[in-house]
Amino acid sequence: MFEVKTRDGLARIGRLATRHGVLETPTLLPVVNPRRMTLSTAEIRDCGASGLITNSYIISRHEELRERALAEGVHTLVEWEGPLMTDSGTFQSHVYGDVEIEPQAIVEFQRDIGSDIGTVLDVFTEPEFDAGRAESELAETQARIEAAVPLKGEMLLAATVQGGIHPELRERAASLVSGTESDVHPIGGVVPLMEQYRYGELAGLILAAKRALVPSRPVHLFGCGHPSLFALATLLGCDLFDSASYAKFAADGRMMFSWGTRRLAEMQELPCGCAVCSATTAAELQALPDDKRERQLARHNLLVSFAELRQVREAVRGGQLWELVVARAAGRPEVADALVALEAEGEWLEKWEPAFRPQQPTSAREPLRRFVQDRLHHAKTSSECYDHPFFGAIDQELADTAPLRPPGNVRQRSWTPERVHAIASYQFGSAAADALLKGDVELVTSRNTGRLRNVIVDGEHRLSLSARHGLFTLRAAGACVIHATCAAPQHRVVVHADSAEFNRQGRNAFCKFVLECDQELHCQDECLIVTESDELVAVGKLKVAPVEIALGQQGLAVKVREAV
């Protein structure tokens, strides 16, 4: 149902399969009200939307809409052929008080009108509620989720994480919903925090939930619809967003940007290149009749939102999402507050830090700093060092190794066994490096570029160098040396016997067959695949963080390079 394609720490790009198509995440589901649409669904699609969300409670309370939805389906009702999610009325209970519908009935209604993703009628816990009341409401929400699961049919079910502003309750709620046969996990009850710009608290609550949420299901941040928040929310591990803000802000004459919000009436020029702003001027927009101006501003708000999401996804692919959030924080102090809150979570976030990123870091983020310090602690260093702006004194031999390259670094072309040892020591530890290079060492370099390609020791091909990252990939002979040198569980991924038979044939290892994993490994690290009796069967690259496997991740665990 949900396949993670690319990771950058907690952030990921995924594909969520529904009966009406696939959503590429992270993405925004614009809210549509079938009783009043500022834009048609065709116009929303043209702005970049691949999915929508509408409110099943509003539909159920309006006789004509209810009958049409039951007879023709909710997709026909809103004239939309793609993935469609429905909310349950929880937000209406927050705004207006109790809603007049039974929790199980609204789930059945969503199923019967053909919603692709239906939502449990959870209890919206207000931020001002104390821990006692929040715990009581969490229990009620969980009871409703468990009662809803048998009713969902073929519909995906969104089971919300509540718990108020109490992190320990959020973590408990996340653990409880992860144990149900639900499919999507919204973070609920946080709209007031966003409205009050309490982004530091918001970040802490999302991370509390992420500590216990099963990572094989997408996380939906309810009510998040401003483009200035998308990068931060994705960094925190959220995959889906929804909001009617694009229309509400337009009705109020406000324009959204990645760096904040401005009133059209106060603007002399339009600092935007979207299809709306590039075809008109601020004065021309201001002179439009109210209804036409509202539609144009709504289009602008959606175009800017989806442009920001494209930039977020590209940042994830390039390993530069943290840097994008830092850029957004420059214009939004509230985003900066969230980054400060993340510093306290550095130890846990470091577990998700990949071994390398496609691009060099340009900020001294705490998880990366911790990761580098840990690797350097286990490596031998020489007396010749350079001062890295983020990581301090670094062995000169590592100056061409990710992520330790200094800004503007010119790649070194000379290769020596000492330089090879420094890199191997940084990656695998000093004992493994000593063993890998014990013997007659031959360094095979490119005739054209002078870059190192392979390391041959006593006639065995043990290591190859990735020129892009300045890091080694293990060959079968090198894996055998590390296996003999380093005691379990170092560098190891232990798999079930059923998987080992396939891994011996060079096939990949999957999360569901992993029994144990060295917790010091990181996503993108080289690793050994072994059986329960520590028999080495293959070598490859770890494609998930060990903490993900522990939380129940599915899919590919190790991309096998060679059988042993």
Active site residues: 87
Judged by phi (left if over 0) then psi (alpha if -120 to 50, else beta), residue 524 lies in left
**Cβ atoms within 10 A of the Cβ of 449, count?**
11
- Three-state DSSP state, 98: coil
Q: What are phi and psi of 122, to 5 degrees?
A: -85, 175
How far is the first Cα of the chain from the last one, in angstroms, to the nearest whole number?
A: 33
Computed from CA positions of residues 429, 431, 434, 438, in that sequence, does the dihedral angle turn out positive or negative? negative
**If residue 34 lies in a helix (H) or strand (E), which one and from where to where?**
none
- Closest by CA to 516, choosing from 505, 527, 501, 504, is 527
Give CA torsion, residues 273, 278, 284, 288, to 10 deg. -80
For helices 131-148 and 103-112, the axis angle rounded to 10 degrees is 40
- Three-state DSSP state, 385: strand
* Buried b or exposed e, range 123-149, using 16+ CB within 10 angstroms: bbbebebeeeebbebbeebbebbbebe
In whole angstroms, give the CA distance from residue 221 to residue 233.
8
Residue 85 CB burial class (10 angstroms; 0-12, 13-18, ≥19): buried
Q: Which residues contact 343 (CB under 8 A, 6 or more apart)?
A: 366
Q: In terms of residues, how long is the chain?
A: 564
In whole angstroms, give the CA distance from residue 523 to residue 317.
14
